[in-house]
Amino acid sequence: MAETPTHASAPVPAPAPEGPGLDGGWSEQRGRLRKDLRRTDLLFFLICTVVGLDTIGSVAAQGPQGLSWMVILALVFFLPYGLLVSELGSAFPVQGGPYVWTRLAFGRFVAGLNQVLYWISNPVWVGGTLCVIALATWEQFFTPLPGLWRYVAGLAFIWAGVLAVLLAVRLGKWVPIAGAVARIVLLGFFLVSVAVYAARHGVHGLTAHDFTPTYAGFVGLVPVLIFNYVGFELPSAAAEEMRDPRRDIPLSILRSGLASFVLYGGPVLGILFVLPARQIGSLGGFIDACKAVFTVYGGNVAADGTVTLTGAGSVLGAIAALGLIVGLLTSGVSWAMGGDRGQAVACADGAGPAWLGVIDEKRGTPVRVNVLSGVLASLLMVAALNLTHGNSEKYFAAGLGLAISTTFVSYVVTFPALVVLRRKFPDAPRPYRVPGGTAGAWAVTVLTTGLVAFTVADLIWPGLGVGWFGTAGNPADSLPTSFAGERLQYTLSQVVPLLAFLLVGCAFYASGRRGRR
């Protein structure tokens, strides 16, 4: 379990860090931070952040080649990304993390716009993807949510997360820790149940040919796989709340990366063994697989694939469903803890409204940004449910695509900061450096930036490159199933909000004029 520091009656404020820092109004807010994060806390925080339960079904829906691309992208993206963030996080351990890196590299205006995109992607994700999966899980295992009750349940999910983020760090850090434990227990129990199910009923045979990677599969998988591989930079947003960020950040990234790869790949393989390919959906793949394997404890699967749980199977299914909902909730909490802190630093630094940059004196957290995030997530949930007329699959596809594209546009700016800061601050202490000198730094920068840029283009225009240069497949098949034949509608669901978010970023920067003066 996490190490819990001993607290005096008044926590000790975090001192200003060494090296390049911020100006504006952040100096005043910095003294309200508390150094309550230790290495074990960071490990659990990153497991909670990186192991996303919402995309397991999306990967499994692409078939066995999903695992092949998962291994390939682990080598060409996950590893370089971890190396890149380890150097930036340990060399510039300043509160705000990615905002500070991009501000030092490209200036306050670019960093301010970039931070708004990074921050706002979390309300989109929580109000869209996470909320709809939580609602679908509740309806699968407990009771339907007709009419108004769907909105009530969605708002309860969102604001439970907001309240968790509002807590002081010494208390709030236990929420991601609980989320990491829930993931380990839930996914571990699922894999054990798959083994029992396989021993009793057999599994669907998978041939070596099924694992052959294709370009069409790559285009369909790259957004969700890379999205599930990101999040290493989040602890750096709370760098001045750590005991020893220069040492703890690289070690935590290494350990959590290895754990996350195992925790994510195992369930995908389990789903492929249990469910016929035609029954695996992006939204309900993991939920349906859980119900199927839990029949070994009580229940049956009808000829048409309908699953009925009884006795111990029903009880264990309900417990697993609650664990999944907790896992989804804590995913949103861990990302909000990082994204909201970065936005508060940006606002206090003059890249946004000064009133949003205030750190609460009692809690040491950016309460105002936290509440605004909850309001935005609530509005997006209500709007999405109305625009999609309650179509959960369409709601899920649009919300997930927008959350990924918004986050990845910000990465296109953040990742090149590595090579820029090596040139601008060559003498800054770097406890960890990307191996290979300048060539190594450029290699990880080009790989990570190129892949996230391609992902953004692929999300805006699904099927990009399919059918080109002799590749097999039809670009229309890359559209989410719920948007079949509606390419323009899907593209607008991504482009229009992205443009709106950029306008919000410009408005934020304009409103920070007084703070800059």
Question: At what angle are helices 174-201 and 311-346 packed, to 10 degrees?
Answer: 150
- CA distances (Å), 245 to each of 87, 168, 259, 512, in order? 11, 19, 21, 29
User: What's the token pair of residue 418?
Assistant: 């590595």
What φ, ψ does residue 317 adopt, rounded to 5°? -65, -40
- Taking phi first (over 0 means left), then psi (-120 to 50 degrees means alpha), and beta for anything else, what does residue 460 get? alpha
Neighbours of 391 (CB within 10 A): 14
User: What's the token pair of residue 496?
Assistant: 């229009």
Tell me the C-alpha distance between 475 and 426, whole Å.
46
- Per residue of the chain (517 residues), give pLDDT as tens: 344 444 443 444 444 444 455 655 666 777 677 677 787 888 888 888 877 776 677 777 777 888 888 889 888 998 899 899 989 988 888 888 899 999 999 999 999 999 999 999 999 889 878 888 888 888 888 888 888 888 899 999 999 999 988 888 788 888 888 888 888 888 888 888 888 888 887 777 677 777 888 887 788 778 888 888 888 888 887 777 777 777 777 778 877 777 777 777 777 777 777 766 555 555 556 777 777 788 888 888 777 667 788 888 888 888 888 888 888 899 889 889 889 999 999 998 888 898 888 888 888 888 999 999 999 999 988 877 776 655 666 667 777 788 888 999 999 999 999 999 999 999 888 888 999 999 999 999 999 999 999 989 888 887 777 767 666 667 777 777 777 777 888 888 888 889 999 999 999 999 888 766 6
Contacts of 232 (CB under 8 A, 6+ apart): 46, 50, 81, 82, 85, 86, 89, 253, 256, 257
Q: Check: CB of residue 365 under 8 Å from CB of residue 126.
A: no
- CA distances (Å), 296 to each of 197, 299, 315, 335, in order? 6, 7, 12, 36
Contacts of 212 (CB under 8 A, 6+ apart): 65, 68
User: What's the token pair of residue 440?
Assistant: 């190594």
What φ, ψ does residue 44 adopt, rounded to 5°? -65, -35
Among the listed residues 227, 205, 26, 213, the one whose alpha carbon sits nearest the alpha carbon of residue 125: 227
Tell me the C-alpha distance between 293 and 197, whole Å.
6
Partners of residue 37 on adjacent β-strands: 242
DSSP string computed for 412-453: HHHTTHHHHHHHH-TTS--SS--TTHHHHHHHHHHHHHHHHH
Q: How far is CA 42 from the centre of its chain?
A: 16
User: What's the token pair of residue 282?
Assistant: 């992006």
Domain regions of the chain by residue span: 26-516
- The torsion defined by the Cα of 236, 404, 254 and 450, in degrees rounded to 10, comes to -100
CATH code for the structural domain at 26-516: 1.20.1740.10
Neighbours of 322 (CB within 10 A): 16
Tell me the C-alpha distance between 490 and 139, whole Å.
26
Tell me the C-alpha distance between 110 and 94, whole Å.
18
pTM of the model as a whole = 0.84
Give the three-state DSSP class for 8: coil
Tell me the C-alpha distance between 12 and 16, whole Å.
12
Q: Check: CB of residue 36 under 8 Å from CB of residue 225.
A: no
What φ, ψ does residue 242 adopt, rounded to 5°? -100, 155
Per-residue DSSP letter, 74: I
